[in-house]
Each structure stands twice: as structure tokens, then as C-alpha cells.
Chains A and B, each alone.
Chain A
Amino acid sequence: MDSRLANSWRLTVNEKNFIKTALQSEIRIDGRKPYEYRKISIKFGRDDGSSEVQLGQTRVMGIVTTQLVQPYRDRPNEGTLSIFTEFSPMADPSFEPGRPGESAVELGRIVDRGLRESRAIDTESLCVLAGKLVWAIRIDLHILDNGGNLVDASNIAALSALLTFRRPECSLGGEDGQQVIVHPPEVKEPLPLTVHHLPIAITFGFFNDESISVIDPTHNEEAVMSGRMTATVNANGDICAIQKAGGEGVTQRVIMQCLQLAIAKATGITKQIKEAVEVYNTERSLRKIKRHPTSVGTIVQGGQTQTSGKEGVSESPGNHIERLKQLSGETCTSQSSEERKTTSTDGNAKNLIRGPTTWDPYSKGVGPELLKTSLASQGTSMPNEKQDLRNEKKPGEAEVEGHHPEDANPGSSAINESLTGLQTKKERTLEDAVKPKSKRKKKASSKTGAS
């Protein structure tokens, strides 16, 4: 449609000059330094294998699904991996629906090469019946918002989705052992994929004047820059792939500098992805635990009340929105996400544990973690949350078993006693055997809801 040309976005000459001049003094228009990455936040959906990554203003959603197919002739005992990129018209008015354009294809190829050629995913473990049936992994990348640097965000989305994906377990049966029975998730726990390492893509932009290079360009900078390079590296220092398709020529020194910088950034990003996946996995295992509504014996009555998450519209929707934003499947972000974790487990809560009646927010020695008491009805969730809390806050500490956990805030003995009492009544699970905790978190929204 030629009238669409009128709708395509162009940067004005003034804006272009401003960006270039600012870069000469090492300032970028969003306030970053030239080698500073934007904030990454990784969230996961309810199902396994769906992730949403936000890199500054860029938003990408990654979905992983799988299917049993016939393998390729020349690789009869390897599974397949295919990546589909959708430059949704939602992300940018200039994206057209229909066949992917060249930048969409390039993005798909970069992510694909990073995963396939570097053998990040173990495809041999995806084989079910050699030569007959293998698992075909399909990664769909939906670009929701184009704020620049789609490649990096898509790569992180693909990796997070792959790490949280679970494929169904299948076994061979039948008379000749040639029949494949796929077990549904209720029968047998699905298995995660074998990921050897995480190839992280880092994009650099090059500008005309005096070989200025920036990392993680935004949308405006992409319109100004004259060359780009994407280096896919992993935390071990291996270079998995480099993509520099034309554009401004740069000296070898600059390339080496960029590669070293990429490796440094990759370690940070890998750590972030792993942390987010860890939180998701914990939350997922909490969800799997079968809950009995009457498991908690003593309930400490307190001042805070909160309605359970099942009500219909007749409940005050205002509270709902806040709570549900945390409830509705978003299980983790890159920052500490204990609140989210708790609230998502509370989605099915029927009974509630109230906080102690004599809770004073300004009493000395009560840390922010203690201010939030969990509302989970089932005590089994308690030890897990505390375990993660403990893991995140005091990694070097020795594990403490039993009902008298350490307390960093001695002034809150009242809370401790009630928690201890509660702890004795909980069902014991495997998590209990590892690290029971005393600290509990309350939904942040319950305070806003009640107040």
C-alpha cells in the first residue's frame, strides 16, 4: 500500500545531529554511557516455555513448543530446532503483517546460528526412535514493542523460554518396542531440555565520526548509526557467532575491543537469566505440590485481611488489578521477586494466615523482609520461600535446620514465636528437609488493599 509510505517514521535532521554530537561527548540520549546496557527484565508465563523479556523499551515474547516428527534423512538420531520470528505490526507501525522482511529473517538466522551451530541445545537427547521419531523444538519469537536492539532481546527471550521449557516424557512400548507412548504431564513429570551453555547476542552500533561505537542501540540510535555488529558469545569466553552484514567499515582494534566487551557483558546477562529461571523453577515446583486446604492447624489472627484470589467481579476490582498483576502467572523478574512468587502461589489459597496482631511497622529492628508475612494457606510453601530468601540473602551461611531459625532482627520475637508455632504444624515435604525458614513475606498489595 503506497499510502503506507506516508506513515513511515523518519528521524529529523536535528534529532540526528543531536544524537551524533551527544555521542562525541560520550553521552547517549537516554542517559546511558556508550558501553552501558539497558535494564533487562525477564518474566515467565503460566505455561512452561513462555517468556517475556523487556530490554528498556523493547519487548519480546518467546514461546517454545514441541512436536514429534520424522527426523532429517542425514541426521536420523537428532532432534530439530526451528525458530520463527514474527515482526508483529504491534511493535512498529512500519512492520507489515505477512511474510517476514529481511530484518526479520536476519534476526531469526542470528538467533538460530547462536543456538544450533554452537550446540547449545543437545539435539541428540531429543531422539525417541532413531530414524523414525524425534522431537522438533519450535521457538516462536513475537516482537511486541520495538525500542531498538531486537536481536539481543529476542535471543534472551529464546534462551529463557528454552530453559523453562519442559517436554513430555515418552516411553517405548508395544510388541516390538516400536510404539511411542507420550505421557501427559499429569502422569509423568515433563523433562527439561539439555542446554550446555547460553549463547548471548550483544549488538554494537557504529557511527560515522571517529569510530564511535555504542552497545545496545535504541530505536533512535539505530536510525542514525551507519553500521552494526552482533557478537554471540557465552560466559565461558567462547565466540559462538559474529554477524556484521555490511555497513560502516571499522578497524580491527575496534572489533577486538567490542568482542572483549561482549564477553564481559555476557557473563552478567547469563547470570541474570539463570537467576530468573531459578526463581521460576522454584515457583513451578511449589505449584506442583498437591495442596490440602486444612493443613495449617493454628492460625494467628491478625489485623490484615485479604480475600482469596478466586472471587468474581463482585469483589473490589481495584485490589484485583494490583494483586492480579502479580498473580497472573508472572513469576519472576530479574530483581528480587519474592513478592511475586508468594502471590502466585496464593492464587489458589483458600485459607489465610494472618499476621501477628501486635505488628508495628516502625518497631526497631524489623527488616523489610519481615514486614511482609506470607498469606499462603498451606504451610508447605513456607519453607521454600524462606529457602530462596535465605539463598538470595545469605549464600555463605550454614544451613539451619529445625524450628528456631536465625533471625537478623532480634526485635521481632513476637513474630518469630507465631511463625515457629505455625511451622510445627506444616506438612513435611522434601523442601522441608533442606532448609526450613522463619521469614515470611506478605503480599505487598495486601497492605495497599487493606489500607
Chain B
Amino acid sequence: MEIDREDGRTQNQLRPLACSRNILNRAHGSASWSQGDTKVLAAVYGPKSGTKKNENPEKACIEVIWKPKTGQIGKLEREYEMVLKRTLQSICILTINPNTTTSVIIQVVNDDGALLPCAINAACAALVDAAIPMKHLAVAICCCLTESGYVILDPTKLEEQTMKSFAYLVFPNSILSVLPEESLLVGGERMEHGIITSVTHGVMSVDDYFHCLERGRAASTKLSDFLRRNLQRHQTNPSKAG
């Protein structure tokens, strides 16, 4: 049974993606990521010397500042900052530059659903633009669960609000390697099947959640391809001093 989505997409169809890097002049790295009408601008400054009081000085620290489109900064923004910070901390190599802070600033340009995944993707691209060392990249996707138990990908704001539940999932990006397959497996499974972050809203059964994960994983391969193609296309500026 086909689900009718408002904008005519099928269940597994993502909105048109667009990513451009190096758009700001002062920031060390910047990227803008848009999925359909949702658009997020990310800028990276770093590494700067010193860490905050509660942070471990033996490791690099990532600081995330989330700027909403309008209005005061509230609890939702703080939650997004925390999720983003933990996600980025798990993909960056923190031991390379100890006692430094890398700031990631997210500016919401337009919110039309799947805002947090869009921001994670933008932050990832901005980190690449700033040449921050990372283990691998992260691709984020939003999976929604409808009343009838179907999973739809990349919902718009309207769909997000009317759906029973949805999950933001972040996977590592797919690996392109010359090494043999066996050495890439972690505990018997491919590395890109691991989940970095999962944030759910609403109630869903365990089976439904695993269903979402499956769909999300499939979509993450496509997203990784897009990201890889996009990153290979442009070259970054060598120096951004001052």
C-alpha cells in the first residue's frame, strides 16, 4: 500500500539535497546544507587554545552554539546543542590537539522538518571544510512512523507534527577502502551499520524502531555517496588566518 505524501514523494524518497562549502570568509570552515526547504548554515572556528572549566584538558573539546531563526534560546536549542556536541565528539579525533576548543556554530536559516539531521550534516561538512581531523563522517536522517506502521524518510514539518513518532538517526558514512572486507568489520558487522546517535520522539514499538533503523541505514548509503561526491568536487582554501 502506497502512502500519499503531501509533496508527492514516495516513502523512501528524500528531498533534494544541496551542500555548499566555504561560503563565509571569516570562519575557518563553513557549510550550508539544505534538504528541500530546510536549510542550515554551519561555521567552524578552531582549534582555539584552552578548554572550558568542566572539560577534560587532555583532549580536544568541541563547543556547539545553536542559533535559532527567531526567538529566545530555550531548552530545545540546548538539547540540540548537546546532541550535536556528543555526535561530533564521537567522530572527531580528540587526541590530536589536546587542550583546545573547536567551536561549531549552527544557524537555522529555515526549518521545514528534519532540522537536527540537517544540522548534523551541515556541521560535518563544515568540519571537513575547516580540516578538523575526524575518524569518519556522519550522515543523519530522519525516519517517521505513520499510523499504519510505515516508515517514511525525511519528513517535512507538517509530516513531522502529524506523525505518531519519529527518530533522528546518525550513521557513520560508508567506507571506500582498498583494504580487504574482513579487516573492516567491527565485531562481525560492517562499520557503517553502527549507529552514532539516535533521538526518538513519540511512542514506537521495538519492531518499528528496528524497521526505522533498516530504512535509515539504506538511506545513509545514498547520503554518504552524495556527501563524498560533493566533498571531492571542491577544494578548500589552504589558509584562513585571521
Contact = CB atoms under 8 A, between A and B. Distances in A.
A90 B225 contact: no
Given A89-B65, A312-B222, A313-B225, A321 B14 contact: no
Interface string B81-114: 0000000000000000000000101010110000
B39 A328 contact: yes
Given A9-B242, A90-B105, A313-B17, A328 B225 contact: no
A309 B103 contact: no
A7 B26 contact: no
A145 to B, nearest CB: 5
B67 A145 contact: no
Interface string B1-22: 0000001110011111111100
B177 interface: no
A144 B43 CA distance: 9
A138 interface: yes
Contact of B67 (A59, A88, A324): A88
A119 interface: no
Interface residues of A, number: 47
Contacts of B219: 313
A65 B25 CA distance: 28
Most chain A beta-carbon contacts within 10 A, residue among B26, B27, B69? B26
A187 to B, nearest CB: 17
Contacts, number: 125
Nearest to B43: A90
B211 to A, nearest CB: 19
A146 interface: yes
Contact of A89 (B14, B17, B45, B110): B45
A1 B223 CA distance: 39
A314 B17 CA distance: 11
A45 B49 CA distance: 37
Contacts of B17: 313, 317, 320, 324
Contacts of A145: 24-27
Contacts of B34: 324, 328
B194 interface: no
Interface in B204-242: 219, 222-223, 225-226, 229-230, 233, 242
A358 to B, nearest CB: 32
Contact of A310 (B8, B49, B67, B71): B8
Contacts of A317: 17, 225-226, 229-230
Given A63-B70, A93-B45, A50 B25 contact: no
A90 B49 contact: no
Contacts of A321: 18-20, 230
Contacts of B49: 3, 6-7
B84 to A, nearest CB: 14
Contacts of B223: 313
A74 interface: no
Interface range, B side: 35 or more
Interface string A38-55: 000000011100101000
A142 B67 contact: yes
A317 B49 CA distance: 38
A408 B103 CA distance: 55
Interface in A70-119: 86, 88-93, 97
Interface in A130-163: 138, 140, 142, 144-147
A311 interface: yes
Contact of B103 (A47, A65, A89, A140): A89
Contacts of B222: 312-314
A92 B45 CA distance: 9
Nearest to A309: B16
B25 A147 contact: yes
Interface in B26-77: 26-27, 30, 34, 37, 39, 41, 43, 45, 48-50, 52, 65, 67, 69-71
B41 A144 contact: yes
B218 to A, nearest CB: 11
A253 interface: no
Contacts of A324: 16-18, 34
A142 B70 CA distance: 9
A140 B37 contact: no
Interface centre among B30, B48, B109 (most CB of A within 10 A): B109
B70 A320 contact: no
11 contacts: A1-B52, A3-B50, A4-B48, A7-B49, A88-B65, A144-B24, A146-B26, A313-B222, A321-B19, A324-B17, A328-B39
Interface of A: 1, 3-4, 6-7, 9, 45-47, 50, 52, 57, 59, 61, 63, 65, 86, 88-93, 97, 138, 140, 142, 144-147, 219, 309-314, 317-318, 320-321, 324-325, 327-329
Given A63-B70, A88-B107, 16 more contacts: A4-B50, A45-B39, A65-B70, A90-B30, A90-B41, A90-B43, A92-B26, A145-B25, A145-B27, A314-B222, A318-B229, A320-B17, A321-B20, A324-B18, A325-B18, A329-B110
